A and B are shown apart, each in its own frame.
Chain A
Amino acid sequence: MAYSDKVLDHYENPRNVGTLDKNDPTVGTGMVGAPACGDVMKLQIKVNDAGIIEDAKFKTYGCGSAIASSSLVTEWLKGRTIDEAYAIKNSDIAEELALPPVKIHCSVLAEDAIKAAVADLKAKQGK
């Protein structure tokens, strides 16, 4: 399978790999996918008092496109508000990485991971 240069770049040099403290009240954690399906994404965001995402980290078990999709969104999330983060669409991710049709589900999973992380944060903060 031929990967785009952007996918290869994120795969070779993934950005923001790591883990934030999931018990921190300013951290939202989203874990989506399933091992049997071949992808699991964990995305974490840390939000400051102004509601801006100041840090984002990911870990992904999955193919090159899944790794690239989650690596890309961590770059995009930093500096955005929660609402802006929520507005990121899988089609934006797929377009940026030039994902082939069979890999669109990787971008869908990345969008789901953002939404799950935001939902976790909101639940924690009682909003």
Chain B
Amino acid sequence: MTTGRKPIYLDYSATTPVDPRVAAKMIPYLTEDFGNPASRSHAYGWVAEEAVENARSEVAKLVGADPREIVWTSGATESNNLAIKGAAHFYAPSKGKHIITVATEHKAVIDPVRELEREGFEATFLEPDANGLVSLEKFKAAIRPDTVLASVMFVNNEIGVIQDIEGIGNICRENNIIFHVDAAQATGKVKIDLEKLPVDLMSFSAHKTYGPKGIGALFVRRKPRVRIEAQMHGGGHERGMRSGTLPTHQIVGMGEAFRIAREEMDTENERIRMLRDRLLKGLSEIEETYVNGDLVHRVPHNLNMSFNYVEGESLMMAVKDIAVSSGSACTSASLEPSYVLRALGRSDELAHSSIRFSIGRYTTEEDVDYTIRLMKEKIAKLRELSPLWEMYKDGVDISKVQWAAH
């Protein structure tokens, strides 16, 4: 295996490179058309404002929204905070203080909900089924008369499964619950039509869709009108919902990235699905591998697999020629298995030995074939070293062995 070159990038769910077409469009707004879009008294401001509004239309178009429903933020984390805290605070006095969300949400949803709990809200963290999906029955059963807000992600960042947003949204409508959706991993991957989808608030990020980091948006429905309490106070930008000078170049980048996504997602997703299926087929030739999460209700970009009888950290050492994410967050002291995989009922061992491969715009067939060869070689090597693999091959049931705890 060659080293000394950059690893093959298969971590598009962590972030994507900025598309060169996006970068080219952004640059003039840093150096020439640098005006403050809030400056109403001269041409610098007007040019910048026009660029911002064009970008707002592009973001709106990708998701079937009205441009007036798009509020710029610094990214999906801020959008989630603004939506969850903003709506909870606004509607709690009239509706109540109970929130429903899912155990497999991103930390940018979990942590704001935890913060609200500290303020006196109560939260239900729904456990998904073993395939990662939340059942509508389970969701319905969690509803209380004082449920004010629900937050469910569109596409899971670790396992790529697509939740039934329409189904959950309809239940929220029937029960007068504000419904927020974190769609950071969904744009350009699944069709989103907010004209039809019963969603009140939806978070977006640019850098997961070939735009720049540091810019995102929140969809805030106008009909029926949804209200949120601002989290950032200042100049009253974005109709008072999010103050702060608009970063024109970042916004232009997000607009262009979302325009490209809208125009190219159909062909791109077809190509990516072909690559993912090729990767899945190749890796499935390795014994004792498990796909994490539903394979049907899933974006084609994601493949999350566990490799039994190899240990997570040594696996990450072995695959340093590919840039992927592990199911273990390597904290300073010890390996912490992914809470998402744990919520699916995966054992610690299988959660530790999981890898998330995420495929994107610049992934090639050669990248996929190299990855399959590398994984086969390294898994075989680590299993040759593994006493657990030897026991498995000898027919020993490892779950029945009495291990001396240490």
Contacts and interface: CB of A to CB of B under 8 A. Distances in A.
A1 B385 CA distance: 21
A42 B398 CA distance: 14
A89 to B, nearest CB: 17
B405 interface: yes
A41 interface: yes
Interface in B275-317: 309-314, 317
A38 B313 contact: yes
B332 A102 contact: yes
Given A32-B404, A34-B403, A39-B311, A61 B317 contact: no
A66 B313 CA distance: 10
Nearest to A105: B406
Interface string B308-336: 01111110010000000000001011110
A40 B330 contact: no
A67 B349 contact: no
B384 interface: yes
B390 interface: yes
Contact of B388 (A37, A40, A64): A40
B387 interface: yes
A64 B330 contact: no
Interface in A36-60: 36-42, 59-60
Interface string B381-392: 000111111100
B398 A35 contact: yes
Main secondary structure of the interface of A (DSSP, over half): mixed
A66 B311 CA distance: 11
Nearest to A60: B385
A34 B391 CA distance: 13
Contacts of B406: 32-34, 37, 105, 108-109, 112
A57 B348 CA distance: 28
B403 A61 contact: no
A19 B314 contact: no
A123 interface: no
B345 to A, nearest CB: 15
B309 A64 contact: no
A36 B390 CA distance: 17
Contacts of B385: 14, 17, 59-61, 67
Contacts of A61: 309-311, 385-389
A19 B387 CA distance: 9
A121 B386 CA distance: 22
Interface residues of B, number: 28
B28 to A, nearest CB: 42
B221 interface: no
Given A37-B406, A112-B406, A59 B398 contact: no
Contact of B312 (A1, A38, A40): A38
B314 A64 contact: yes
B352 interface: yes
Contacts of A66: 311, 314
Residue of A32, A59, A108 ringed by the most chain B CB atoms within 10 A: A59
Residue of A31, A33, A35, A39 ringed by the most chain B CB atoms within 10 A: A35
A102 B388 contact: no
A62 B388 contact: no
A45 to B, nearest CB: 15
Residue of B347, B352, B386, B389 ringed by the most chain A CB atoms within 10 A: B386
Contact of B387 (A31, A37, A38): A31
A22 B137 CA distance: 54
A105 B355 CA distance: 25
A19 B403 CA distance: 20
B317 A11 contact: yes
Contacts of B330: 1
A6 to B, nearest CB: 14
Interface string A68-99: 00000000000000000000000000000000
9 contacts: A11-B317, A19-B390, A32-B406, A40-B386, A59-B386, A60-B386, A63-B313, A63-B314, A66-B311
Given A14-B385, A102-B334, 10 more contacts: A1-B313, A31-B387, A33-B404, A38-B334, A40-B386, A41-B387, A62-B313, A62-B314, A66-B314, A108-B406
Across chains A and B, which 6 residue pairs bring their CB atoms closest together, nearest first? A34-B403, A63-B313, A42-B387, A59-B387, A61-B386, A61-B388
